[in-house]
Amino acid sequence: MGSNKEHIPSLDGLRAVSILIVFISHCGLENIVPGGLGVTIFFFISGFLITTLLRLEWTNSGAISLRKFYLRRIFRIWPPFYIVLFAGLALTQMHVIPGHFSWAGVMAQVCHFTNYNIILLESPTVSGTGVYWSLAIEEHFYLLFPMLYILLNKRAIPVRRQTFFLMTICGLILIWRCILVMAFHSTIGRTYYASDTRFDNILFGCILAISANPVLDKPIISDRLLLRIGVPCGIGLLLLTLLVRGDVFRETLRYSLQSIALVPIFIAAVRCPKHLLFRWLNWRWMCFLGVISYSLYLVHQTVIITVKDHSMLHPAIRGWVAFAIAVGIASLLHFVVERPFAKLRKRFR
């Protein structure tokens, strides 16, 4: 980003919240802490950040380089992705990690089709690497979205019409989920894991980046109204999506409503980082968890499963041990792998 937009307040803290939700859920508390909400937050943040970068590139140069965009994504996603995957394969062969895998499942992961492997083939993968399904959705989305965004801008379509068009796509995805659930009686996995039913979570972040970007645009409403009305409404809507337990609601409206609820919360967190509600998102240790959140996401479930298999500790203590080990591995990946590739990635901005 531009020099004055290099750091987005609260962003790393929100990433930390996402990974903590997912981690706690995978420790066996999924009935209390829904890991799916953490993934939805990840999707939303990813859509916002990538589209903000694309928007800045278009504003500054009047064009977007797809080649550079895809290279940036490769340098960001692939190195830790494949290192963790192949390390997991080796450790499974050595019986350090419990379970077994099939080469069909591994090839699905290598080719970024983990989500459809879960839905269609159910081929075994390395224990804990099933979380790769969400990365597959992101890869599929970013293969397509930049071309659509370039087309919208080349045709000089105004921001309002761009917003309406992208919101229409979100609406169509919601309708598609409803058809799958109500007409075809699809499984929960079909709507939860598939790219065509989860693109809207990323797209809501893209829409915010285009139409009401808290980093680039003038505020539409005052901080006072945002904090007094927007944030409570957003939190209330999020709680509603967690309290309503019906399968039809959960697999249709839930994803859309969660994304809508995140909009005022995200804007307020970015615009008001020193407010009591969001100050903790900018604590140093929260920011660090956010910085290593990608590597932590890749390794955390494998670590949880392995610690459980090799210890007789109380579940609570086991969770803390797994967390410490996962943070250690993720930190190593960040400093040894992610940071060198981040420097290389900057050359293609």
In this prediction, residue 142 carries a pLDDT of 95
User: How many structural domains compose the chain?
Assistant: 1
In this prediction, residue 5 carries a pLDDT of 52
d(Cα 319, Cα 308) in Å, to the nearest integer?
9
In this prediction, residue 3 carries a pLDDT of 39
Question: Which residues have a Cβ under 8 Å from the Cβ of 336 and sit 6 or more positions away?
Answer: none
In this prediction, residue 148 carries a pLDDT of 97
Lookup: tokens for 186: 């699809």
Nearest to 286 by CA among 8, 17, 34, 4: 17
Provide the residue range defining the domain that includes 23: 3-346
C-beta of residue 278 within 8 angstroms of C-beta of residue 272: yes
Nearest to 135 by CA among 183, 203, 195: 195
In this prediction, residue 6 carries a pLDDT of 61
**How far is C-alpha 72 from the geometric centre of its chain's CA atoms?**
17
CA angle 157, 163, 167 (to 5 degrees): 130
Render each residue's pLDDT in the chain as its tens digit; 349 residues. Answer: 433 456 799 999 999 999 999 999 999 888 888 889 999 999 999 999 999 999 999 999 999 999 999 999 999 999 999 999 999 999 999 989 998 899 999 999 999 999 999 999 989 999 999 999 999 999 999 999 999 999 999 999 999 999 999 999 999 999 999 999 999 999 889 999 999 999 999 999 999 999 999 999 999 999 999 999 999 999 999 999 999 888 899 899 999 999 999 999 999 999 999 999 999 999 999 999 999 999 999 999 999 999 998 888 888 899 999 999 999 999 999 999 999 998 888 877 7
In this prediction, residue 247 carries a pLDDT of 86
pTM above the 0.85 mark?
yes
Residue 142 has, within 13 A of its CA and on its CB side, a CA count of 28
In this prediction, residue 302 carries a pLDDT of 95
